[in-house]
Amino acid sequence: MYIHKIKKTGNMKVDAFVLTDNISEISEAIEQLKNVASLPTIVKAAYAMPDIHWGYGFPIGGVAAFSNIISPGGVGFDINCGVRLLKTQIDYNDFKKYIENTIKELYDVIPVGVGATSKKFDKKSFKKIIEEGAKRAIEMGCGLSEDLEYIEDFGSISPASMEDISKTAYERGREELGTLGAGNHFIEIQKVEEIYDEKKANILGLYKNHIVIMIHTGSRGFGHQIATDYIKLMRNLHNDLPDKQLAYAYFDSDLGQKYYSAMNCAANYAFSNRQIITHYIRKVFSKFSKVEIVYDVAHNIAKVEKHDNQKLIVHRKGATRAFGPYHPDIPEKYKSIGQPVLIPGNMGTASYVMVGTNENFAFSSTAHGAGRVLGRRQALKKLNLNQVLSNLQKRGIIVKSKSKKTILEEAPDAYKEIDRVVEIVDKLNLSKKVAKLIPLGVIKG
């Protein structure tokens, strides 16, 4: 019902699978997935999550594993764009009168939007952060050592060397650490609306009507520049590409290893970016409650992982890792339930907390969000700002945004229904529902 198989044909080296309830609305993205299935050293199959839509090279929602290539188009420009969920001990009824002021305080404290900058990090501090990740941000006063336990890869991926990034990437990155950015990135104050699995929710520390905060942001201009630099270097390496946007390097080549290192620098930057924003949020919430990390997941990344006793380079672009119970790479506290999976909705709709399963169908991957149905230009043409704001107001959602254009581009009507996406991944056992979160206040760039 939800699994659509595209048999190997033409230059495809493996089959492709699209996991959706409506294959007719994504024809361009399917062509991209077929191109991914044509790349050398691809293993098993190419997969598309239910939030699939057209992207650069790989479709967004694309998952593929290779024995010996790495492709920047399979990672994307916003390397380790990811989601972090924070929990509090605050009951909604005690907090609702403070929501508007708290959103304003967060907006005033956290730099948001295109061109937003924070303090400049000196070269030595910046080097430590991109090479060693969130632990260095914590050592600089932005968090607690126990935070690391609840960040994917403990907030640090290696190898990561500053020697493998350009001067332009450094210049773009050093002023944007601790900033939210624009586009689909957000900070939301949310309420736990529904619990589907009380035992798992208790282990995660999630309780009905409690206040949580979700952060969705990535590596900003730093990651974008790294992607741009390495796509340019790889563009003309191979003449047999089905699409120039699928440029790649052999993983064990000098260029492949340099990109892998640079990509990891961007991933570490993103973990640190969310860590610094967490620090700001804790300051604002200190008068109400302690704020703890539930989990932090990475999207848009290539990871070296072992699947079926084979070491592979798993590309997840607009997809997230979803390891099942007792996997060695998840926190001890969560071993019995599986890795937490965070699937954000879009402005004005629910988000979901799920947990990974031992289903290895798509290299232990799951969806990362709702997935677009309208491109940003289409949204600007088709949607009405007053109507969008009115609909959000009717739902009691407070919105603070630097740009009216962003509100239109990221309006709920520009995305698939998140409930549909989550239902599919739950039914396919890619990850299982634990809790539903609804937005109370939203900050956009």
| Residue 296 assigned to a binding site | no
Span 79-138, pLDDT tens digits? 999 999 999 999 999 999 999 999 999 999 998 877 777 777 889 999 999 999 999 999
| Residue 244 assigned to a binding site | no
What pLDDT, on a 0 to 100 scale, did the predictor assign at position 372?
Answer: 57
Give me the residues of the chain with pLDDT under 70, please: 371-375, 379-380, 384, 388, 412, 414-416
| Residue 277 assigned to a binding site | no
| Residue 368 assigned to a binding site | yes
What pLDDT, on a 0 to 100 scale, did the predictor assign at position 243?
Answer: 93
- How far apart, in Å, do the first and last CA atoms of the chain sit? 38
| Residue 371 assigned to a binding site | yes
What pLDDT, on a 0 to 100 scale, did the predictor assign at position 416?
Answer: 67
| Residue 361 assigned to a binding site | no
| Residue 300 assigned to a binding site | yes
- Taking the mean position of all CA atoms in its chain, how far away is CA 170? 22
Is 368 among the residues known to form the active site?
A: yes
| Residue 15 assigned to a binding site | no
What pLDDT, on a 0 to 100 scale, did the predictor assign at position 375?
Answer: 67
What pLDDT, on a 0 to 100 scale, did the predictor assign at position 391?
Answer: 73
What pLDDT, on a 0 to 100 scale, did the predictor assign at position 383?
Answer: 72
Active-site residue identified among 210, 279, 315, 368: 368
CATH class of the domain at 3-444: alpha beta
| Residue 160 assigned to a binding site | no
| Residue 444 assigned to a binding site | yes
The whole-angstrom separation of Cα 323 and Cα 338 is 6
Span 315-371, pLDDT tens digits? 999 999 999 999 999 999 999 999 999 999 887 789 999 999 999 999 999 999 876
| Residue 238 assigned to a binding site | no
